Chain A
């Protein structure tokens, strides 16, 4: 009887020890796995960032050095690539940045106004034909720009708008970027309806509700839409390519392409310098508003 009890106790102790050993082993295994994960993720980060770092390094190198090694460290930084690149085309980049800024600012304003109007109507107001129109709006999201490009071009040409910024800006005041309607709707829907109803009982008009209830409560949504639209308009290439023929009116992406056209006498250092500068506004926005951007994609599930 007694031996049995001690056996049992010894067995239990043995079991506990084994369990502890297993736990410890599991812990080290988990630690190893985590370490391995980090090593892999860091390696991947390096691969992901390398092209960008290489472009920045190349923007500070003379051409011979760009194409002769992997080094990310210029032997002698050529900051002159930046100053010479800035004035390296028949028109200076001051003009191109000014042009891009005008187009971008106007487009962002247009998107915010027109898309929030439409989003408010779809998310909050009742009217006949809403389901049908909403379906049509969702369908336009899928339509490639190329499909509407030619008739739009003919239309704007007949109106005498080619070689102005109107074809780039006016569509944004007409909610042509349906993605933002969708994005804003997702946010508007999360605002409690009781607020609208209370305001309505107080005699607020739909516009007052939009202005005093919905908009102030969806500032993050507005900011997200503004950031995305700023980035996309800034990077936009196809529309400026078609509508702008005069080099004085070129936006930054069109100007960058001019470097490529100067084949033979192309200067890679300068081209990279200007390429890097063209990404700077986007990078600044990304760093400042990373959280909003990432949440915007997760909630709208697009792009």
Chain B
């Protein structure tokens, strides 16, 4: 017993802050929101058990829930592949012995580190407004622009463009991945007369597959979490006509504007399940991800 204690003491002592946080701020709340999801709770009176009512309402009658799913999945389906394609394309351009790569890398990464800020969301609203700079640019070609954000059919694309603008971090991960591909493979292919596109599909892509996959999973989860920019650009409500009703924005409104905490907890659990499915796929293939690259710099 004493030995058992001594063997474990140090580890658990160092883990104490995290353990407290894990139980109080992660596991506890996850279980609590599972419970709250079966209740009606307005924060004034105690939670009242309603069984499956929240979920039944959500799946059977709540149009806004389905709209939120539609908006979010549309965003994920557009923003993630476009951002990754952009990141990979630029990473490949930067990879092959280019001078001043450091400068380009810094410039391309800069938007990623600023992108989450409210300042950028405010900027985006102004840029894509009816007389914003985007329409000023289009006017040069005689195109009459519209209010890209106030028009429900186009508003989501302003968010997609914002996501594409922030291709920096997947680009950095791709760059690290590209560097681990041995150069002589390309030289051999060159001697054999293999064309460039063929080299890409036969060498680059297969060897980069784990990194592509890793980026994909990560970016999908990130995209599901999108909140601040969507909140600011949609005026906090998912406007116009719910076309920017991201799942997180809907959840926030249900919880903190209408104080339907029970229902919002049910919404949170559905989001958790969606993310868990994606994470499960990631873990099932985790043997690919863990490789440590010491970046040459």
Residues of A within 8 A of B (CB): 34, 37-38, 40-41, 44-45, 48-49, 51-52, 54-55, 58, 66-70, 113-115, 117-118, 120-122, 125-128, 130, 133, 136-137, 139-140, 142-155, 157, 171, 173-176, 181, 186, 189-190, 205-207, 210, 231-232, 234-235, 237-238, 242, 253, 256-257, 259-260, 268, 271-272, 275-276, 278-279, 282-283, 286, 290-291, 293-295, 297-299, 301-303
Q: Is the CB of A257 within 8 A of B107?
A: no
* Stretch from B58-66, B118-126, B181-189, B237-245 forming part of the interface with A: B118-126
Q: Is the CB of A127 within 8 A of B107?
A: no
Q: Is the CB of A297 within 8 A of B169?
A: yes
Q: Is the CB of B29 within 8 A of A148?
A: yes
Q: Which B residues touch A173, using CB under 8 A?
A: 17
Q: Mark B116-145, 1 if CB is under 8 A from A, else 0.
A: 111110111111010111001100100000
Q: Mark B170-205, 1 if CB is under 8 A from A, else 0.
A: 001101100000000000000000000000000000
Specify the main secondary structure of chain A where it touches its partner: helix
Taken together as a complex, chains A and B put the C-alpha atoms of A160 and B265 apart, in Å, by 22
Taken together as a complex, chains A and B put the C-alpha atoms of A253 and B43 apart, in Å, by 27
Taken together as a complex, chains A and B put the C-alpha atoms of A130 and B7 apart, in Å, by 12
Specify the main secondary structure of chain B where it touches its partner: helix
Q: Is the CB of A147 within 8 A of B269?
A: yes
Q: Which B residues touch A235, using CB under 8 A?
A: 116-118, 228
Q: Is the CB of B292 within 8 A of A299?
A: yes
Interface size range on B against A? 35 or more
14 additional contacts, CB 8 Å, given A117-B16, A238-B228, A259-B122? A48-B111, A55-B119, A117-B15, A130-B11, A137-B22, A142-B276, A147-B30, A149-B268, A155-B24, A155-B29, A174-B21, A231-B113, A294-B106, A302-B218
Q: Mark B35-46, 1 if CB is under 8 A from A, else 0.
A: 010000001000
**Which residue in A69, A142, A259 is a CB contact (below 8 Å) of B221?**
A142
Q: Is the CB of A151 within 8 A of B29?
A: yes
Q: Mark B203-243, 1 if CB is under 8 A from A, else 0.
A: 00000000000100010011011011001100100000000
13 contacts between A and B (CB under 8 A): A48-B110, A49-B107, A49-B110, A55-B119, A117-B16, A117-B18, A146-B268, A149-B29, A150-B33, A154-B32, A207-B10, A295-B297, A301-B218
Residues of B within 8 A of A (CB): 4, 7-8, 10-12, 14-22, 24-30, 32-33, 36, 43, 90, 93-94, 98, 104-111, 113-114, 116-120, 122-127, 129, 131-133, 136-137, 140, 165, 169, 172-173, 175-176, 214, 218, 221-222, 224-225, 227-228, 231-232, 235, 248, 251-252, 255-256, 261, 264-265, 268-269, 271-272, 275-276, 278-279, 282, 289, 292-295, 297
Taken together as a complex, chains A and B put the C-alpha atoms of A186 and B289 apart, in Å, by 13
Q: Is the CB of B14 within 8 A of A174?
A: no
Q: Is the CB of B10 within 8 A of A275?
A: no
Cβ of B111 to closest chain A Cβ, rounded Å: 6
Known A51-B165, A146-B252, A148-B30; contact A206-B14, beta-carbon cutoff 8 A: yes
Taken together as a complex, chains A and B put the C-alpha atoms of A181 and B294 apart, in Å, by 19
**Which residue in B18, B111, B176 is a CB contact (below 8 Å) of A137?**
B18
Q: Is the CB of B122 within 8 A of A298?
A: no
**Which residue in B26, B221, B232 is a CB contact (below 8 Å) of A260?**
B232
Taken together as a complex, chains A and B put the C-alpha atoms of A177 and B255 apart, in Å, by 23
